């Protein structure tokens, strides 16, 4: 599939929806928290549970998706951490840089993208990658965000309150036990899961609007380096790693695409919470998200 065709048919619809809410936020100052909470506590858990409970891929294939996401992300973060040490970033910037690489936007952006590119089979595989990324983010990500800050008790409590890991665990158990739900509950899950993607894009648009308003002037060098690692180095790592793991077809493609997504807004939230360089992370979120229109178009043209 041609690069321009991919941009037009897959990426532009995502950014049109997000863009509508970015414009609305500039004029109406929409509070993103209610929608974000609906996604986090209701619709995303429903999507995760439904995808994992009723997935038609083998446990081995799911394990490859999970493992490849962890390996590729850690390799990219490790290389990035070494790079910023060599060029002389201070400890606070180093933590922020690593955080920008660990937290990729596999949810708000990655799930709709993979469904549009690969259909429902792509979506259920993308959910597995997202779960792997969330677990890494809430462990390794919090460690890097809080380096130099001894108290992370409140952050860990927030992790325990987050229903998404529980939805993933119950979904996997449900699938392994081959259980059936009543049609009423299945239809309820389907409706909730279908609401997740548009709400995710709405939240993404509002968050990009807020990021744009902050400005990126003094953080450009940091953001450009982080964007290169997030959007170019990560997929360059992904191709050989998925080959070494013996992955092929749509499973390989989804793993590569998901590990090539831009920095997630959650990276900025944690950087703010734990005293990392939040301004630079915020600038990276904006630059990497906008630049991903080009890089993901090229990547999908290679894969499709």
Q: Which residues is 104 bridged to in the sheet?
A: 263
Residue ranges of the alpha helices (H) in 12-148? Answer: 12-28, 33-38, 44-53, 59-87, 91-102, 110-136, 142-145
Q: How far apart are CA 294 and CA 296, in angstroms?
A: 6
Helix 59-87 to helix 220-228 angle (10° resolution) is 140
pLDDT tens string 207-258:
778 777 666 655 778 889 999 999 999 999 999 999 999 999 999 999 999 9
pTM (two decimals): 0.80
Report which of residues 3 and 283 the model is more confident about.
Answer: 283
Helix 278-303 to helix 265-274 angle (10° resolution) is 160
The average pLDDT across 195-217 equals 75
- C-alpha distances out from residue 183 to 45, 123, 293, Å: 19, 22, 39
Q: How far apart are CA 88 and CA 196, in angstroms?
A: 41
pLDDT at 148: 44
Tell me how many degrees the CA angle 276-281-282 measures, rounded to the nearest 5: 120
Q: Domains in the chain, please, with CATH?
A: 3-297 (1.20.1530.20)
Q: Is 73 a residue whose pLDDT tops 80?
A: yes
pLDDT tens string 133-191:
877 776 676 666 555 444 556 555 656 677 877 888 888 888 888 888 888 988 998 89
Lowest mean pLDDT among 21-25, 88-92, 94-98: 88-92
Q: How far apart are CA 206 and CA 26, in angstroms?
A: 9
- Structure tokens of 26? 């500039």
């Amino acid at each position: 599939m041609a690069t321009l065709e991919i941009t037009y048919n897959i990426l532009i619809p995502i950014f049109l929806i997000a863009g509508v809410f970015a414009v609305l936020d500039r004029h109406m100052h929409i509070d993103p928290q209610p929608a974000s909470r609906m996604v986090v506590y209701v619709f995303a858990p429903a999507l995760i549970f439904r995808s994992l409970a009723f997935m038609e891929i083998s446990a081995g294939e799911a394990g490859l998706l999970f493992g490849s996401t962890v390996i590729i992300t850690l390799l990219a973060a490790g290389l990035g951490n070494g790079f910023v040490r060599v060029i002389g970033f201070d400890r606070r910037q180093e933590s922020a840089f690593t955080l920008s690489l660990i937290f990729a936007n596999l949810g708000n952006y990655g799930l709709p993208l993979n469904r549009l590119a690969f259909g429902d089979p792509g979506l259920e595989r993308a959910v597995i990658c997202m779960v792997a990324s969330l677990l890494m983010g809430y462990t390794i990500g919090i460690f890097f965000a809080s380096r130099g800050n001894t108290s992370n008790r409140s952050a860990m409590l927030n992790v325990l309150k987050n229903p998404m890991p529980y939805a993933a665990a119950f979904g996997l158990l449900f699938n392994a036990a081959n259980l059936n739900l009543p049609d009423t509950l299945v239809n309820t899950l389907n409706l909730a899961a279908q609401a997740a993607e548009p709400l995710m894009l709405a939240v993404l648009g509002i968050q990009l609007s807020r990021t744009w308003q902050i400005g990126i002037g003094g953080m450009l060098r940091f953001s450009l380096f982080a964007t290169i690692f997030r959007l170019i180095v990560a997929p360059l790592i992904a191709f050989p790693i998925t080959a070494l793991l013996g992955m092929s077809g749509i499973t390989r493609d989804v793993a590569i695409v998901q590990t090539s997504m831009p920095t997630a807004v959650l990276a900025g939230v944690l950087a703010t919470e734990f005293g990392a360089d939040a301004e630079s992370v915020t600038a990276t979120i904006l630059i990497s998200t906008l630049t991903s229109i080009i890089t993901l178009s090229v990547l999908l043209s290679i894969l499709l």
